[in-house]
Chains A and B, each alone.
Chain A
Amino acid sequence: MSSPILRVESLVKRFGGLLALGGVDLAVEAGEFRAIIGPNGAGKSTFFNALTGLLRPDSGRVTFEGRDITGEPPHRVARRGVARTFQITSVFPDLNALENVRIALLAHARRSWSLWPRAGALGVERAHELLALVGLAASAAKPAGTLAHGDQKRLELAIALAGEPRLLLLDEPTAGMAAQERLEAIRLVHRIARELGLSCVFTEHDMAVVFAVATRITVMHQGRVLAEGTPAEVRARPEVQQVYLGEAA
């Protein structure tokens, strides 16, 4: 039993009187495709924010590849090999798609501190590769802000991959897409993750998407883990059905 790539122990986060995360435990094995589901307000985005250092947890521990990364700022967490996408697409709207990925590559290559050499053609080739990988080869020259919603999500993925992460955290990767698009999108992510040997944790509302690709599911409710297991196991649990699956998907 190999040690998990990501282990979260008793993660707690309060906002004033509100207990957003009430002691979350999670262990993700390498190569997993883990889905986190739960109603709105269950704390999924807060969880990602606390994992990646955007929020400082009040208590608890986060271990990535055996290293304690609790409370480390986002840029440190990213350097460790954790990449994240955002629920509300977060790209560089005025730059074209190629430039978006190039920035990420420059950052990953630690060139952001090069003050003298010209940026010139650094990373252009690799950026094209990544765009092709996510299916955006044709849109390389388009300003990111003008891309269709689904394409922006793909771009986010390419940006995330530029950092050569070993763990992908995807916050609602299919938000805002039509049903058919969603399955395509998640299957793309799944395929890429398998090809590159990445572990992946993603939050999702659409059950069809979840059951299509997830290897394990964690159910969150009111800041705590309600249930966890394989899709079949989770589907069968009555408390899960009551809280979440009972509601209209």
Chain B
Amino acid sequence: MKSRHAAPLVAAAALLALPFGLTEFWIFIAVEVLAFALYAVSFNVLLGYGGMLSFGHAAFFGVGGYTAALVVKQSGLPPVLAVACLPLAAMFVSAAAALVIGFFSVRRAGIYFAMLTFAFQMLLYTIALKATPLTGGDDGLTGLKPPGPLAQPLAYYYFALAMTAAGLHVLHRVVSSPFGYTLRAIRANALRVQYLGINVRAHRLAAFVVSGAFAGLAGAIFALSNGNVFPEWLNWTASATPVVMAVLGGTASFLGPALGAAVYVVLEVLISGRTEYWPLAMGIIIVIIVLLMPEGLTGLWRTGIVRRGARAAPLPTREAR
């Protein structure tokens, strides 16, 4: 029993102590890792658990970012209230967008579902580009700072950590719940699940909304740390990011995508620092992943070490942690 708790405790302690060993720049990067970890895990609820590949998940990350920016810049709320409202507002607006987009998209499966999410994301991209009074148009919204005391990088780090931890906890509860099991069954055999009396479309929509809401939260966390939001966050190329992170970390485990996010962000920082051709590097990395390690880093880990004893987890192909 004790060994099961040791790893999470050590990780928690490390995360809490982390900023004290880092420069301000790297604290900023740590916040980015947290936000993208939440983003990737939320995406994997759809892909790894629900079996739904969305080409338009960046839409919700972007919507969350823009919402946070608007709350900070335009709401005129006192700092404390703004802080409290931020996560909720971002999640609410992203969830609403996901509800509308999802309602139409889950009526189709496979490639048509994916193309619909793509089309809707591009619609949002166009709005972000054109609705200049609201979204700042081409220039986006800039000069964002976290409200009140959170403007301190250290304070914002803990805020981001708290939000991310809470978000991950909720997502974990969701995938471990009967709803989560249903989702996995839908992925395995959607036809059969219908005959169990389950409205597959409604469950897929619910997963889509939950996933979108937390992607929105991630976008909000990142936007305030980054200081600005741009329409490019909603362009179709941005939708590669959550897929890369999830697959890099491994879609078969809950936290795999979080690991993928950490590696992705750090790689991006290191490589962008040396060359402007980060996309080229990313492309090559993706090719390596796809051809050589499709199970991701956690997959390598799993097959690389000796299994210790019988698994208590009821579902053999997923870590039910």
Contact = CB atoms under 8 A, between A and B. Distances in A.
B181 A91 contact: no
Contacts, number: 105
Interface stretch (B195-203, B280-288, B297-305): B195-203
A96 interface: yes
Given A90-B189, A114-B179, A118-B173, A103 B195 contact: no
Interface in A63-107: 73-76, 78-79, 83-84, 86, 90-96, 98-99, 102-104, 106-107
Contacts of A143: 316
A interface, size bucket: 35 or more
B178 A111 contact: yes
B108 interface: no
Interface string B149-178: 000000000000000000000000110111
A104 B178 CA distance: 11
B185 A103 contact: yes
A84 B195 CA distance: 7
Given A79-B197, A107-B182, A92 B177 contact: no
A106 B315 contact: no
B181 A93 contact: no
A119 B176 CA distance: 6
A112 B189 contact: no
Contact of B203 (A52, A102, A112, A159): A112
A103 B194 contact: no
Contacts of B196: 75, 78, 103-104, 107-108, 159, 162-163
Nearest to B320: A119
A91 B192 contact: yes
A54 B191 CA distance: 9
Contacts of B200: 75
A115 interface: yes
A113 interface: yes
A117 interface: yes
Interface residues of B, number: 30
B314 interface: yes
A110 B94 CA distance: 28
B129 to A, nearest CB: 36
B70 interface: no
A119 B197 contact: no
B195 A106 contact: no
Nearest to B191: A90
Given A73-B194, A94-B316, A104-B196, A117 B177 contact: yes
A96 B197 contact: no
B177 A118 contact: yes
Contacts of A84: 195
Contacts of B88: none
Nearest to B314: A99
Contact of B194 (A78, A95, A111, A119): A78
A106 B178 contact: yes
B188 interface: yes
B64 to A, nearest CB: 20
B95 to A, nearest CB: 13
Contacts of A103: 181-182, 185, 193, 196
A118 B197 contact: no
A10 B121 CA distance: 46
A15 interface: no
B317 interface: yes
B197 A75 contact: yes
Nearest to A78: B197
A122 interface: yes
Contacts of B176: 118-119
Contacts of A86: 192
A111 B183 CA distance: 12
B286 to A, nearest CB: 26
B87 interface: no
B180 interface: yes
Contacts of B315: 94-95, 99
Interface in A20-70: 52, 54
Interface string B219-249: 0000000000000000000000000000000
A132 B178 CA distance: 23
Contacts of B317: 94
A103 B192 CA distance: 11
Contacts of B197: 75-76, 78-79, 107-108, 163
Interface of A: 52, 54, 73-76, 78-79, 83-84, 86, 90-96, 98-99, 102-104, 106-108, 111-119, 122, 143, 159, 162-163
Given A99-B315, A143-B316, 4 more contacts: A94-B316, A102-B181, A116-B174, A118-B173
10 contacts: A73-B194, A76-B197, A94-B188, A94-B315, A114-B177, A117-B177, A118-B176, A119-B178, A162-B196, A163-B197
Interface of B: 173-174, 176-182, 184-185, 188-189, 191-200, 203, 206, 210, 314-317
Of all A-B residue pairs in the complex, the 10 with the closest CB atoms, nearest first, are A107-B196, A111-B178, A78-B197, A112-B182, A74-B194, A92-B188, A79-B197, A114-B178, A103-B185, A115-B179
